[in-house]
Structure 1
Amino acid sequence: MGVRAALAVHPDSGKGAAARIAGTVAARLRDHVERLDLVAANTVEQSRLLMDRSHSDGLDALVVLGGDGAAHQAVQFCARTGVALGLVPCGTGNDLARALGVPTDPIDAVDAVAAALREGRRRRLDLGTVGDTWFATVLCAGFDAAVNERANRMRWPRGPRRYDLAILAELASFRARTLVVDSDTGRVELPAVLVAVGNTRYYGGGVPICPEADPEDGLFDVTVVGEATRRELVRMLPSLRTGAHLDHPAVTTLRARRLTLSGGDWPVYADGESLGRLPVSVSCVPRALAVLG
């Protein structure tokens, strides 16, 4: 029996780009599978219902055409069912695809997925868990999560400028708070402005906040930015784009499989999705996700 696959299309991803190329992507996949189901949904509820329906009919692989939000929902499904995940990035961030070395061009990416389907190539990756929720990239709390939360509430402007304005607004009001990191390697307690728990390197559209994170080593890389003035934060922001922030004296790093974050009443985001507020307990589950490639 050949491979049974589904293509999950999130039409709004990439300002509608996913909808425009869905037919091309589906055509390139059909030659390499026995059956291809189309799952097109913009809401979490629709996506879950259609994925479950497809899985009940038998499913070997789920290919996602969309951004990080779409990938996050697919990870919930694939980790639960054991179905292999394929990524065709078509969003604004594409941080999971970037971390896994998926081609940035959607057509090149679908050709890579098709080759993996044809040759039966799969990788096993670690995932993070918070309660019943899985995450594949980075969990963050503090300043960066507050920026994400503020930007999500803003209706204007659209695109990257919205995040620029959210950063400026948070810089004006954000204050360091005592952060406690209890892990299987010890305890860290210090005034801090943000903490990032990385299963992979990137968040925020290509920021390598945990530049040495490896999703196949069974451990998180944790980056803590300690107490810093607004001026110091502004100076540090450019270094985040290169990973040079690890050399800053305010930055502390550690590696752990399990940890609890507590202290201030900070918002918590993982894979760009809201997970409530601190405190939160996080675990790394080795080899929890099968990925085509």
Structure 2
Amino acid sequence: MSLGSATTPVTPGAVAVLANPSAGRGRHGGLLPAVRELLTAAGRPVCLLSAATAADAVAVCRRAVAAGASALVTVGGDGTVHAALQALATTGVPLGPVPAGTGNDFALATGFPADPTAAAAAIADAIRAGRTQGVDLARVSVADTPDRWYGAVLAAGFDAIVNERANRMRWPSGPRRYDLAILVELARLRPRRYRIVLDGEPHHLDAVLVAVGNCASYGGGMRICPAADPADGLLDVVVAGPVGRATLIRIKPQVYRGTHVGHPQVRSFRARQIIIEAAGVVGYADGERLGPLPLTVTAVPDALRLLR
């Protein structure tokens, strides 16, 4: 996650910009100059942040907030936004997400244009007018790690298991690694025993897929939690029960339309706080690794300001 240049020193009141030129497989690699021009025209100095890793991205965003940045703009996908959220949550410093990644679920769910240039222009207009809007975030607590924030969806079932396998694989490269991981995990598919506590009420169930949504979609438009609203102070939980490979394959395409929730083996819940326990599962949120279950997810209303 590098801009290809050194970080520009952040001055008080400046707009900090974190860009990931490899997001979206590099198809928006030339976008940054246009974004910078639009933001500069809004009347604020612009400072560029550079980071080589996801951990570096979180650190530079936190330093920018501590140095007095008036806003943070991300140019990338949900992973880039995820890094920014760790620095911005509950600070009041607003975020402007320019959707330039493979998955832009948070930006689109919170009302930003899908076209990155149009989104940058809308963000610049909000900066010029001093306009922000509050939105909820989810805070995740995992044992022995600092709390993390996410904006879109947490996966704690089949999709998370696929991510974990793909991240361990060294071959093949690129998207084929994920495709192979799906095939391997489909062959190994089995229901797992979950204990899910919803606002203090425990549920014991067998499932192959568990998702907790602050927003409706993940993975570039898969509406896994179709009723989720990032402004209602609640989290949506969708659980696919003990289905087999054939049923899971049939259900998966329905996720893009959000119609999978009508399947008799899919259950939906809504809560402010969720505890998820299961053996052998690592949680992922916004596509980023959180850590092994158990974990606790809490909805935090108005945790983030958006440049809208």
TM category, shorter: over 0.9
Partner residue, 1:116 = 126
Equivalent-residue separation in structure 1 for 2:66 and 2:253 (angstroms): 47
1:152/1:140 CA distance change after superposition, 3 Å: same
RMSD: 1.8
Give unpaired runs (5+ residues) of structure 2. Answer: 1-11, 142-146
* Structure richer in strand, relative to its length: 1
1:127 corresponds to 2:127: no
Partner residue, 2:8 = none
Q: Indicate the SS of the match to 1:290.
A: strand
Q: Indicate the SS of the match to 1:286.
A: strand
Which deviations, in whole Å up to 9, do the C-alpha atoms of 1:102-131 show, x marking residues without a partner?
A: 222211110111111122221111111112
1:104 corresponds to 2:114: yes
Aligned match of 1:178 in 193, 197, 200? Answer: 193
Q: How does 1:37-56 map to 2 (within 5 A)?
A: 37-56=47-66
Equivalent-residue separation in structure 2 for 1:268 and 1:5 (angstroms): 32
Aligned match of 2:94 in 66, 84, 96? Answer: 84
Which deviations, in whole Å up to 9, do the C-alpha atoms of 1:49-102 show, x marking residues without a partner?
A: 433443343221100011111100001111153210001011111111121132
More deviation in 70-79 or 55-64? 55-64
Return the letter of the residue paired with 1:239: Q
Return the letter of the residue paired with 2:205: L
Partner residue, 1:187 = 202
Give unpaired runs (5+ residues) of structure 1. Answer: none
Equivalent-residue separation in structure 2 for 1:65 and 1:8 (angstroms): 6
How far apart are residue 229 of structure 1 and its match?
Answer: 1.0
- Percent identical: 48
- Please give the TM-score of this superposition, normalised by the length of structure 1: 0.93
How far apart are residue 157 of structure 1 and its match?
Answer: 4.7
Q: Indicate the SS of the match to 1:20.
A: coil
Partner residue, 1:62 = 72
Equivalent-residue separation in structure 1 for 2:116 and 2:170 (angstroms): 28
Question: For this pair of structures, how many residues does the alignment match?
Answer: 292
Partner residue, 2:5 = none
The answer (yes or no) to whether the contact 1:3–1:60 under 8 Å persists in 2 is: yes
- Please give the TM-score of this superposition, normalised by the length of structure 2: 0.89
Aligned match of 2:40 in 30, 36, 44? Answer: 30
1:50/1:151 CA distance change after superposition, 3 Å: same
How far apart are residue 172 of structure 1 and its match?
Answer: 0.1
